[in-house]
Amino acid sequence: MKRTGALIDEIVFPNNKSKAFTLSYDDGIVHDRRLVEIMNRWGIRGTFNLNSGFFGLVDNNGPFDFSRINEDEVKELYKGHEIAGHGLNHASPTLVGNSAFMYETIEDKANLERIAGKLVRGYAYPFGHYDASTKEILRNAGYHFARTVEVTHAFALPTDFLEWNATCHHNDARLMELAEDFCKSDLRNMNKQLFYVWGHSYEFEGENNWEVIENLCQYMHDHGEDVWFATNIEIYDYVTAYRNLEYSAEGNMIYNPGGIEVNIKRGGKIYKLSPLTTVTID
């Protein structure tokens, strides 16, 4: 049948979820231990961006413990979550020069992959610093996404994963307002797809407000029946696979060239597109 109108295909996340939620935490401070325990208890998943050059560093002379986790606990501590890069020594990507930044990036990636026993494909910019050159270095090093420190207060999927802006920081005054808005919207639309929160676990310790992340995780667990709790890289892989779908000229045939199953919704019906297969939609 010849198509007479525009196609409106919506992304549907795994298990037919219409939305996704993820956390991103930096630096590998010892307080990640408590943060991970809270996340695991409520079934929340996320990405931890680590500086492998600082593993085992002791820094407890200030108002609270700023020490780093030990290398030998990384694999078990972050089990079920994603390990991502954050620079070997947390050097600014735009201030150290391209050669130094390349070393910071590659050496950190090699260390983390050796420790984790899996590919490290994500990154968070130290100090939030980046430019076109640093993005190209990351791309050539095998990184597929990089989180900034900018926030949007919105729930849209990123257009450029190497400039991935979060919805908000966890200390944002609107945090729970945003969580409620995100969860209570039952519309499958392109404006309410991803809730992304970032921060540092030492901030909870320093500000004595662990209830912030406890309340957020519990709220998302209790009200997220339509939400996919995922790591950053899982979201990247799924969205990229969705965006790489190939359509026939009339839009009735869809080919999935990727390696993971992708779900789409058209006209109120959900279609499952298996890897390397073509689906015909009447």
Highest mean pLDDT among 6-15, 153-162, 179-188: 153-162
> What is the reported pLDDT for 81?
98
Cβ atoms of 204 and 25 within 8 Å: the answer is no
> What is the reported pLDDT for 55?
98
What are the backbone dihedrals phi and psi of residue 113, each rounded to the nearest 5 degrees, phi first? Answer: -70, -40
Q: How is residue 226 written in tokens?
A: 């339509």
Mean pLDDT throughout 8-32? 96
> What is the C-alpha end-to-end distance of the chain, expressed in Å?
8
Mean pLDDT throughout 74-93? 98
Q: Are strands 164-166 and 145-151 parallel, antiparallel or unpaired?
A: parallel
> What is the reported pLDDT for 64?
85
Among 1-5, 32-36, 93-97, 196-200, name the one with the lowest average pLDDT. 1-5
Grade residue 8 by pLDDT with cuts at 50, 70 and 90.
confident
Residue 46 pLDDT exceeds 90: yes
Tell me the pLDDT tens digit for each residue of 236-274: 999 999 999 999 999 999 999 999 999 999 988 999 999
> What is the reported pLDDT for 2?
61
What are the chain's domains?
19-239 (3.20.20.370)
Greater confidence (3 vs 260) lies with 260
Residue 28 pLDDT exceeds 90: yes
Cβ atoms of 47 and 71 within 8 Å: the answer is no
Residue 276 pLDDT exceeds 90: yes
CA–CA separation, 244 and 234 (whole Å): 15
Indicate the helix (H) or strand (E) that contains 215. Answer: helix 211-223
> What is the reported pLDDT for 189?
54
Residue 35 pLDDT exceeds 70: yes
> What is the reported pLDDT for 1?
55
pTM for the structure as a whole: 0.95
Q: How is residue 207 written in tokens?
A: 């500000």
Backbone dihedral region of 114: left (phi > 0), alpha (psi from -120 to 50 degrees) or beta? alpha
Residue 164 pLDDT exceeds 60: yes
> What is the reported pLDDT for 147?
98
Residue 6 pLDDT exceeds 90: no
Mean pLDDT throughout 8-27? 96
Residue 3 pLDDT exceeds 90: no
> What is the reported pLDDT for 61?
86
Amino acid at the residue 214: E
Grade residue 51 by pLDDT with cuts at 50, 70 and 90.
very high
> What is the reported pLDDT for 192?
80
SS3 183: helix
> What is the reported pLDDT for 137?
97
Beta carbons within 8 Å of 40's beta carbon, 6+ residues apart: 80
